[in-house]
Amino acid sequence: MAATMLNTETPAQQHTLLDQYPTVELVNVLVDDQLNAVNAVRAAAPRLAAAVAAALPRVEAGGRLIYVGAGTSGRLGVLDSVELYPTFSWPHGRAVALLAGGTDAMFVAVEGAEDDLEQGAADLRSLNITKDDVVLLIAASGGTPYVLGALRAARAAGALTIGFANNPDAPVAGEAEIGITLDTGPEVISGSTRLKAGTSQKIALNTFSSALMVRLNKVHGNLMVDLKATNAKLVLRAIRLTSFATGVDEAAARAVLEQCDFHVKTAIVALSKQTGVEQARALLEAAHGSVRQALAS
């Protein structure tokens, strides 16, 4: 009996003459199909919320976020992991990405790497997984052997496993403690999951990690107050955020930020409470990093 074709691999019926479309129509079709990625993530929102709720106590206890994937899915995991440090001051060592084929696969396809179930398990075990770790397993097909190997090793270690797949009833979602199905259906260019399947994964990962960081008190109101000012652009952003949150001018904001290594949270509390940066740090520590609670104390 022939294997059932995955939704993500099934040729789309409505664009069989895609290569003959005028360029403007071609571009419009490709863009419009991305709306299906948004709809797929929206449908999975309850599962994403459950994943955030389950991950929160683990990371509060010191656990790491560990991303596992191959090809486009793996690269999207790498992207999410590296962006957490400048955006939320999340430590590099607590956002780890495993990519089938190793770091070289970020830039060049490593043939066959995704098919190695045992390597996925070995790479995961090499991280000395604990029960507080949260492992995000990403596979458009939902059956990538490398990812499944890592998933099974993570479950054996007692870590929280969250599986992202783009096909219904996929093993990666079914075997994970929390499965998230992003049912994007056939691609306009048949089988090219770098298109809307990849877009849905990017949205889902952004949503998960951003929501988790909000729950970890790294956002005040809707302001990114725990950024790491690693370049000139982010230094200016820190000044503007502090000024906006406190009502002081940018010169006053910069003066206090320079005393606290441009940590926006500390500057907001110091300026709002009219106290020194050390007292502001103490108030934030007592409030578990919540600017709102520190200001109310």
Active site residues: 83, 114
- Angle of helix 250-257 relative to helix 232-246, nearest 10 degrees, comes to 110
Identify the CA nearest to 111 among candidates 119, 103, 120, 100. 100
Please provide the DSSP assignment of 190-231 as one string.
Answer: TT-TTTHHHHHHHHHHHHHHHHHHHHTT--BTTB-TT----S
| Tally of CA atoms within 13 A in the half-sphere of 117 that contains its CB | 6
Find how far residue 169's CA is from the centre of its chain: 23
Strand partners for 99: 69
Q: How far apart are CA 273 and CA 293, in angstroms?
A: 12
Helix runs in 61-195, H state only: 71-88, 117-125, 145-156, 171-175
| Tally of CA atoms within 13 A in the half-sphere of 110 that contains its CB | 19
Do the beta carbons of residue 180 and residue 47 sit within 8 Å? yes
Tokens (6 digits) for 28: 């419009």
